[in-house]
Amino acid sequence: MNEKIVYAPAPAPVYAPAPVYAPAPVYAPPAPVAVPVPTPSVAVEQPKPGLTVGEAAVAVGATMALKGIMDAIAPSPEKVLENNMRQDERKLDQQV
């Protein structure tokens, strides 16, 4: 048996070109931040104080009086229902 083994020739080497890289980006230094300088505020006139205790008491009294007058002229629906319930309860108490 004189068989001769024949091998295929080795493939030719393949050379790839060198990779091309993009140039590195150039970063600029951060821009300076301008800090506003606070200016002193100028008060043209003094702020007015709030209500005094007396003024607040008068305002509350006037508001309550006005609400009483408004309820006498045109009572709110809640007030009407409350009054009707009271009248019904009185009638039931009288029937017993």
Rounded to 10 degrees, the C-alpha dihedral 72/78/81/83 comes to -40
38-53: average pLDDT:
73
Cβ contacts of 75 within 8 Å, gap of 6 or more:
83
The token pair at 69 is 């007058």
- Give the rounded distance of the alpha carbon of 30 from its chain centre: 32
Q: How many residues does the chain have?
A: 96
Share of the chain above pLDDT 90, in %: 24
Specify the residue for token string 């008068």. Answer: 58
* pTM for this model (two decimals): 0.35
Question: What value does the mean pLDDT take over residues 52-59?
Answer: 91
pLDDT of residue 47: 66
